[in-house]
Amino acid sequence: MNFASVRIITDDVDRLVEFYEKVLNVSAERPAPVFAELVVPSCTLAIGHSQTAQLFGAGSVVAASNHTVIIEFRVDNVEAEYVRLKSFVDDWVQEPTTMPWGNRSLLFRDPDGNLVNFFEPVTEEAIKRFSGRL
């Protein structure tokens, strides 16, 4: 089994796509006006309009209401990403901080309030834990 994607449901696909294109430094694929995919080597971040949620059943998802999931991306240099992101990220949750499990991490919210974590393994144990992974 392979992890394929995370999908964010939103009422404003264009706004979220534009934001994540900047965050991930990739262009979105837009197979339909109500759906986009941002493909990075390790996974795909999909963005769908709330209209598409009807396909999953009434009330199954609600746009801009996530308070439990963190979308995480491993990066090469958290400090450099922090400097790059500061020009367009408005909602910072945590500036670069070394976590007890050995990752240097920064957290921010996307325009819909979803929590995003950029992290970099920095301790010997954390680096070892991630060795061999994408």
DSSP secondary structure of 97-118: EE-TTSEEEEEEE-TT--EEEE
pTM: 0.91
pLDDT for res 134 = 61
How does the average pLDDT of the chain come out, rounded?
A: 94
3-7, 82-86, 87-91, 117-121 — which is least confidently predicted?
A: 3-7
Which residue has 């070394």 as its token pair? 98
Cβ proximity of 130 and 26 under 8 Å: no
Sketch out the chain's domains with CATH numbers. Answer: 1-57 (3.30.720.120), 66-134 (3.10.180.10)
Which residue has 């534009």 as its token pair? 18
